Amino acid sequence: MKPLPPDAVDAALGTLPGWVRAGDALERTLRFPGFTGAITFMHDCAPEIDALDHHPEWTNVYNTVRVRLTTHDAGDQITNPDLVLARLLSAKALLHGGA
Protein backbone atom coordinates (compact mmCIF):
# COMPACT_ATOMS: atom_id res chain seq x y z
CA MET A 1 0.00 0.00 0.00
CA LYS A 2 1.35 3.41 -0.97
CA PRO A 3 1.27 6.51 1.20
CA LEU A 4 -0.63 9.47 -0.23
CA PRO A 5 1.37 12.53 -1.27
CA PRO A 6 0.94 15.52 1.08
CA ASP A 7 -1.02 17.54 -1.49
CA ALA A 8 -3.56 14.70 -1.87
CA VAL A 9 -3.97 14.54 1.91
CA ASP A 10 -4.44 18.32 2.08
CA ALA A 11 -7.06 18.21 -0.68
CA ALA A 12 -8.92 15.41 1.11
CA LEU A 13 -8.84 17.29 4.42
CA GLY A 14 -10.72 20.08 2.66
CA THR A 15 -13.65 17.66 2.38
CA LEU A 16 -13.32 16.22 5.90
CA PRO A 17 -14.43 18.86 8.42
CA GLY A 18 -12.95 18.37 11.88
CA TRP A 19 -10.09 16.17 10.74
CA VAL A 20 -6.49 17.39 10.95
CA ARG A 21 -3.14 16.01 9.93
CA ALA A 22 -1.02 15.21 12.97
CA GLY A 23 2.34 14.17 11.63
CA ASP A 24 1.73 11.08 9.52
CA ALA A 25 -1.82 10.49 10.75
CA LEU A 26 -5.31 11.93 10.56
CA GLU A 27 -6.90 12.86 13.87
CA ARG A 28 -10.26 14.02 15.11
CA THR A 29 -11.89 14.46 18.50
CA LEU A 30 -15.62 13.77 18.54
CA ARG A 31 -17.92 14.82 21.37
CA PHE A 32 -21.33 13.26 21.93
CA PRO A 33 -24.24 14.25 24.17
CA GLY A 34 -23.15 11.68 26.75
CA PHE A 35 -21.28 8.46 27.41
CA THR A 36 -24.00 6.29 25.86
CA GLY A 37 -23.85 8.28 22.63
CA ALA A 38 -20.09 7.84 22.39
CA ILE A 39 -20.20 4.11 23.05
CA THR A 40 -23.16 3.59 20.72
CA PHE A 41 -21.23 5.41 17.98
CA MET A 42 -18.23 3.12 18.43
CA HIS A 43 -20.42 0.01 18.52
CA ASP A 44 -22.32 1.11 15.39
CA CYS A 45 -19.07 1.69 13.48
CA ALA A 46 -17.48 -1.65 14.39
CA PRO A 47 -19.08 -3.91 11.73
CA GLU A 48 -18.24 -1.55 8.86
CA ILE A 49 -14.73 -1.00 10.19
CA ASP A 50 -14.23 -4.76 10.32
CA ALA A 51 -15.55 -5.10 6.75
CA LEU A 52 -12.98 -2.52 5.61
CA ASP A 53 -10.26 -4.43 7.50
CA HIS A 54 -8.76 -1.07 8.42
CA HIS A 55 -9.06 -0.28 12.11
CA PRO A 56 -8.72 3.05 13.91
CA GLU A 57 -6.70 3.86 16.97
CA TRP A 58 -9.40 5.32 19.18
CA THR A 59 -10.07 6.02 22.82
CA ASN A 60 -13.17 6.91 24.76
CA VAL A 61 -13.48 9.00 27.91
CA TYR A 62 -17.07 9.76 28.93
CA ASN A 63 -18.61 11.60 25.93
CA THR A 64 -15.40 12.00 23.93
CA VAL A 65 -13.93 9.71 21.29
CA ARG A 66 -10.44 10.54 20.03
CA VAL A 67 -9.55 8.95 16.69
CA ARG A 68 -6.17 8.53 15.01
CA LEU A 69 -5.89 7.02 11.53
CA THR A 70 -2.70 5.82 9.91
CA THR A 71 -1.75 2.76 7.89
CA HIS A 72 0.75 0.52 9.66
CA ASP A 73 1.36 -1.54 6.48
CA ALA A 74 2.53 1.65 4.77
CA GLY A 75 5.08 2.58 7.40
CA ASP A 76 2.55 4.47 9.55
CA GLN A 77 1.68 6.88 6.76
CA ILE A 78 -1.67 8.20 5.50
CA THR A 79 -3.23 6.12 2.72
CA ASN A 80 -6.54 6.03 0.89
CA PRO A 81 -8.10 3.57 3.39
CA ASP A 82 -7.53 6.20 6.10
CA LEU A 83 -9.58 8.68 4.07
CA VAL A 84 -12.32 6.11 3.51
CA LEU A 85 -12.44 5.38 7.24
CA ALA A 86 -12.46 9.10 8.12
CA ARG A 87 -15.50 9.61 5.88
CA LEU A 88 -17.27 6.62 7.43
CA LEU A 89 -16.60 7.79 10.99
CA SER A 90 -17.71 11.34 10.17
CA ALA A 91 -21.00 10.12 8.72
CA LYS A 92 -21.66 7.80 11.66
CA ALA A 93 -20.80 10.54 14.16
CA LEU A 94 -23.50 12.76 12.67
CA LEU A 95 -26.05 9.99 13.13
CA HIS A 96 -25.18 9.80 16.82
CA GLY A 97 -25.09 13.54 17.53
CA GLY A 98 -21.33 13.79 17.46
CA ALA A 99 -19.50 17.00 16.70
Return the DSSP state at 24.
Answer: S
Which residues, 6 or more positions from 39, have their beta carbon under 8 angstroms from its beta carbon? Answer: 60
Q: How confident is residue 45, by pLDDT bands cut at 50, 70 and 90?
A: very high
- pLDDT tens string 50-94: 999 999 999 999 999 999 999 999 999 999 999 999 999 999 999
Instruction: Give CA–CA dist 49/69, Å, rounded.
Output: 12
Which residue type is seen at 47? P
Full-model pTM:
0.96
Q: How confident is residue 11, by pLDDT bands cut at 50, 70 and 90?
A: very high
Domain 6-95 has CATH 3.30.1360.20: yes
Q: What is the pLDDT of residue 1?
A: 85
Segments making up each domain of the chain, as ranges: 6-95
Percent of the chain residues past pLDDT 70, beyond the cut = 100
